[in-house]
Structure 1
Amino acid sequence: MQTVYETMYILRPDLGDEQVEQNISKYENLLKEQGAEDIEIQNRGKRRLAYEIGKHRDGVYVQMNYKNGGKAIAPVERAMRLSEEVIRYLTIKQEVKLAPAEEITEEVA
């Protein structure tokens, strides 16, 4: 069984494209330093928030999916909590069942 984590965070809407890319690469590098693998990042763009957060009605949504990053979650969330650019974040854990052929090759390895 493979553990996959998904971290979704919302950046302030007043950030420029370059600042958004800098934030995305900062958190991606932090995940890599902590040993996360197969990092997939999707910049979902600016969207309307369901409710106002810190006087912001919009936010830039970014989604990161990665494997084997259990020990990376605490440092990444701490960095997000201390950042003024991130207005919300959430990490969830997903259990992904492998196909029977993949389970066999993983047990042998």
Structure 2
Amino acid sequence: LEPGFDEGKVNEEIERVSQWIRDLGGELLEVQRWGKKRLAYEIEKKRDGIYTLLLYQGAGAMVKEIERRLRLNESVMRVLTVIHVPPELTVAQADPAAIAAAEEADE
């Protein structure tokens, strides 16, 4: 978000996006406010920005619409959408018996 926003304006923008997610059938799971940080490079002659992470789930079409709306929102400087893989789904925490069975099946 724009670096000059006060806490009220940041809250307003977060609530706006949260409402879009709900209206489009998604579910907001978590909001992390990272605060004002230095950008990796200047954007529109600005060196800082307010970073906010919104973790949500929804269908692919909903995600595309949220991205579209964010890109059209002049308060938002940049948008990055990634697919979140919960830690419980990583291979490192998989059941050892299942891993052994899969390895035996490959032989």
What range describes the TM-score normalised by the shorter chain of this pair?
Answer: 0.7 to 0.9
Alignment of 1:1-109 (within 5 A): 11-96=1-86, 97=89
**Greater than 3 Å deviation, 4+ residue runs:** none
The runs of 5 or more residues in structure 1 that have no matched partner are 1-10, 101-109
Q: Choose between structure 1 and 2 for higher RCO, CA contacts under 8 A separated by at least 6 residues.
A: 1
Q: Identify, as 1 or 2, the structure richer in strand.
A: 1
- Identity among equivalent positions (%) equals 37
Query: Normalized against structure 1, the TM-score is what?
Result: 0.73
Give the partner amino acid of 2:37.
R
Contact residue 18 and residue 28 of structure 2 kept, 8 A: no
Distance 1:23 1:90, change over 3 A: same
Matched residue SS, 2:82: strand
Count residues in correspondence.
90
> What is the CA RMSD across the aligned residues, in angstroms?
1.9
Structure 2 CA distance for aligned equivalents of residues 18 and 45 of structure 1: 13
Q: Identify, as 1 or 2, the structure richer in helix.
A: 2
